[in-house]
Amino acid sequence: MTISKKENDKRIMNLKDRILFEAERGNVVINTIEGLAVVPLDKIIEQPTEGLLYDLNRDRATILTFVNDEKWINDFAVALVIEKLKTIIEEYKNESNKNPTGI
């Protein structure tokens, strides 16, 4: 079944509105095998780096399957930034646990 450009534009705007609405509520919308999923942002960032990147389709294996689309360059950069930030967070947590008083 083919949909008209007008119907497609409306579907895109509805999706955009939903994603922005959820973002304002502190959630992230991800596209999964089962369809769209709404996950609290605080919850998704708690998971290990590999799981986070996988859920966001930003794991290296996924990114490198799309090298024909220049978008992969920024996707790869995003993955590297997330990996580094997660490492910094873990180091900070470990340091805080060693010295809980901050002294």
Q: Where are the domains of the chain?
A: 1-44, 47-103
Helix boundaries (H) for 1-103: 5-24, 41-44, 49-55, 60-63, 71-98
Predicted pLDDT of residue 10:
93
- pLDDT at residue 95 is higher than 80: yes
Predicted pLDDT of residue 56:
93
- pLDDT at residue 103 is higher than 70: no
Copy the structure tokens of residue 60: 């290296």
The pTM (predicted TM-score) of the whole model is: 0.78
What rounded mean pLDDT belongs to the chain? 93
Cα separation, 64 vs 78, in Å, equals: 13
Predicted pLDDT of residue 99:
76
